[in-house]
């Protein structure tokens, strides 16, 4: 079966996940994680991709980003992935693939799901039982978005900026979002969307993306959206 065409539109946020091949580790020490972040920073500037949230788990990566040019996410992820694999193969005297095929992604409706996806990403280590609180995990964007730590790599999205006028108030408002658990339906919608490359948003959002992409999309049940097969 032919691979599905990716929809990547300038200005539309995407939730991206890249997994290690066969669920195996893609990070083996902190040096690996730091180098991967360096690659994200380097190539996000090269390919004009704004990164808003991230988490580096042992065997996968989550990113919330917005491409500034149509199609930029694919070339960005390819550049990061290939450069990182070259490093890993050299550092650990290995050969072959590291990633589980193509990265997976979903387009996000800003007003409805942007902050929910950001929380979902930064709470990954908590759900996995690695830490008790998001702030205890070093390899995520939580300390930037919630605690105001500096980061040259991250670009605040307008939805995040709109939380409050001042940075301190913005961080407090973002922290407050974590006081409530992500609901079961939200978790299901976010997971289905990114794993099945559906749109994450309303029927109006689906229509908007359909017009912009020049491709008919239809809304599925349970909040998922995907291309029409007909």
Residue 222 falls within a domain, yes or no?
yes
pLDDT the model gives residue 216: 66
pLDDT the model gives residue 218: 53
Residue 8 falls within a domain, yes or no?
no
Residue 6 falls within a domain, yes or no?
no
What's the Cα-to-Cα distance from 209 to each of 2, 72, 105, 203, 214, rounded to whole Å?
22, 16, 15, 10, 8
* CATH at 209: 3.30.70.1290
pLDDT in tens, 1-51: 233 457 899 999 999 999 999 999 999 999 999 999 999 999 999 999 999
Which has more confidence, 220 or 184? 184
Average of pLDDT values for 119-125?
A: 97
Residue 4 falls within a domain, yes or no?
no
Domain total for the chain? Answer: 1
pLDDT-derived band at 196 (thresholds 50, 70, 90) equals confident
pLDDT the model gives residue 228: 34
Q: Considering only 26-35, 51-60, 197-206, which range has the smallest mean pLDDT?
A: 197-206
pLDDT-derived band at 221 (thresholds 50, 70, 90) equals very low
Give the percent of the chain with pLDDT over 70: 91
Please give the residue range of the domain that contains residue 211.
Answer: 14-227
Residue 92 falls within a domain, yes or no?
yes
Residue 9 falls within a domain, yes or no?
no
Q: What does pLDDT average to over the chain?
A: 90
Residue 93 falls within a domain, yes or no?
yes
Residue 196 falls within a domain, yes or no?
yes
Q: Which residues of 77-94 are buried (b: 16+ CB within 10 A; e: fewer)?
A: bebbbebbbebbeeeeee
Average of pLDDT values for 135-155?
A: 97
């Amino acid at each position: 079966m032919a691979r599905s065409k990716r929809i990547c539109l300038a200005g539309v946020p995407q939730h991206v996940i890249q997994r290690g091949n066969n669920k195996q580790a893609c990070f083996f020490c902190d040096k690996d994680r730091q180098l991967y972040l360096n690659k994200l920073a380097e190539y996000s500037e090269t390919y004009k991709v704004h990164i808003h949230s991230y988490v580096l788990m042992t065997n996968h990566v989550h990113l919330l980003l917005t491409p500034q040019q149509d199609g930029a996410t694919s070339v960005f992820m390819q550049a990061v992935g290939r450069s990182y694999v070259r490093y890993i193969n050299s550092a650990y005297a290995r050969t072959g693939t590291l990633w589980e095929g193509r990265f997976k992604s979903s387009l996000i409706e800003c007003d409805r799901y942007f902050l929910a996806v950001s929380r979902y990403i930064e709470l990954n280590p908590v759900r996995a039982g690695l830490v008790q609180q998001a702030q205890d995990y070093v390899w995520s964007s939580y300390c930037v978005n919630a605690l105001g730590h500096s980061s040259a790599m991250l670009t605040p999205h307008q939805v995040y900026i709109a939380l409050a006028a001042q940075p301190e108030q913005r961080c407090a408002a973002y922290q407050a979002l974590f006081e409530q658990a992500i609901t079961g339906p939200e978790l299901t919608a976010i997971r289905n969307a990114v794993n099945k490359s559906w749109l994450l948003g309303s029927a109006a959002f689906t229509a908007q993306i359909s017009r912009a992409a020049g491709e008919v999309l239809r809304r599925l049940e349970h909040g998922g959206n995907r291309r029409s097969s007909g």
